[in-house]
A and B are shown apart, each in its own frame.
Chain A
Amino acid sequence: MDGIHDLGGKSGFGRVNHVGEEPVFKARWHAKVFAMVNAAARAGAYQSVDQFRHAVERIHSEAYLNHGYYGRWLGGVETLLVEAGLLSTVEISRRALKLGADNDDLVAAQPQASMPKEGGIPAGPELEQPKFSLGDRVRSSNLTPVGHTRLPCYARDKTGEITALHDRWPYPDAQAHGIDAPPQFLYTVTFDSAALGFPESFALNLDLFEPYLTIVESD
């Protein structure tokens, strides 16, 4: 999905706020959210990291940008807890009102309503051997899936080179949606920054799954 989470190559966020040392958890509620994410996994609210990442991607975009990292996690875990039927939005909101929340507070989680009807880029069949070899030129997919994918917008429909093979991994585009799919081969693809349309000269490395890629035949 082309959500606000897909930040690579976007503009308008200013300089990096690079401060020195900071506490691991700036506030105790941050650690509470961390513990809740673990508790939600134990309670079966989600089965994969991909499902959790997708839940975070589906929160309100204004909250994504303004609520900070643990605010995003909070939105993600609430989404999963409600979608799994472990808590309801109404009981959370009632409890929050008792604890001093306002009725017009922006709630990050948008359970159900934010769930796409399809997954990401469709998985390929189960394969024993990787399709691509080191040095192969490959082009990335130009698909804009409604569901979860790990192919960022800035690297869609671009040509790069296979520079590492990483065997097979669970396929995020299916796992995030609870879709059954065989593990897919994973590669590091190196793009020249010029091929991505960026002004500086550098090498950009991305780890991309086989279904995202097609071979580019040399002349």
Chain B
Amino acid sequence: MTDHDSPQKIRAEAIESLLIDKGLLSAADVDAVITTYTDRVGPMNGAQLVAKAWIDPKFKAQLLSDATSVVNAFGFEGGQVDKLVVKACSPQDHHVVVCTLCSCYPWAVLGLPPAWYKDPAYRSRIVQEPRLVLSEMGLSLPSETRIHVWDSSAEIRYLVLPERPAGSEGLSESELAALVSRDSMIGVARVMI
């Protein structure tokens, strides 16, 4: 069976058509969702914060002490950041974020979460064997680096501030932002140059 006729797709379209009949939903609502989360809300917003923090120590200090005010000032849309907390990686400390109970994720700064973040394998394992899971995902951490796992169990949302890569000294803020991957801000990858 292809995705085109999965029972879930059919049931979704049955409910959609009933909601349209009752005037509770329109096709434009669906297009608006796609446009918002494809074009305007995504990891490029978080990457902007990371790049600025790398070049501006005062901004970095603000981000680490009160990320919520910083994000509110940027006016990102997308929601899911009533309170944002940013955790900075260093050679001593590595941070990684999960939501074991559902799939909480800071939409306004990272967009909608990738499939693996929402799947049972990541949600079940990252809280019991993070070093192994990270190495399977391509991030091998030195044994002396302490791992901190953040399970987003309430409305606080977490963003990881990755380490600035060596060799990036001459780059501009926008060039730096282009290097910052979504995965590095969840804490499952380094930023590579």
Chain A residues with Cβ below 8 Å from B112 are: 24
Given A86-B22, A101-B14; A7-B120 close (CB under 8 Å): yes
B125: which of A16, A100, A166 is its contact (CB, 8 Å)?
Answer: A16
Chain B residues with Cβ below 8 Å from A18 are: 116, 136-138, 188
Bin chain A's interface residue count: 35 or more
B8–A87 CB distance below 8 A: no
- Quote the shortest CB–CB distance from A154 to chain B (angstroms): 7
* Distance between Cα atoms of A35 and B155 in the complex (Å): 22
A202–B13 CB distance below 8 A: no
B24–A43 CB distance below 8 A: yes
- Quote the shortest CB–CB distance from B138 to chain A (angstroms): 8
- We find that the number of chain B residues with CB closer than 8 angstroms to chain A is 68
A99–B13 CB distance below 8 A: yes
Given A53-B102, A154-B127, A200-B129; A209-B120 close (CB under 8 Å): no
B25: which of A14, A36, A164, A208 is its contact (CB, 8 Å)?
Answer: A36
A152–B122 CB distance below 8 A: no
Query: Cβ of A129 < 8 Å from any Cβ of B?
Result: no
Chain A residues with Cβ below 8 Å from B121 are: 13-17
A residues 9-35 near B (Cβ < 8 Å) are 9-11, 13-19, 22, 24-29, 31-35
B154–A24 CB distance below 8 A: no
B124–A32 CB distance below 8 A: no
Chain A residues touching B, majority SS:
mixed
A binding-site residues for B, Cβ under 8 Å: 5-11, 13-19, 22, 24-29, 31-36, 38-40, 42-43, 49, 53, 56-57, 65, 67-71, 74, 77-78, 81, 86-87, 91-93, 95-96, 98-102, 105-108, 150-152, 154, 164, 166, 169, 172, 186, 188, 193, 196, 198-200, 202-209
Sorted from nearest, which 10 A-B pairs have the closest CB atoms? Answer: A8-B100, A105-B7, A207-B154, A96-B14, A95-B14, A202-B147, A13-B121, A13-B120, A7-B123, A10-B124
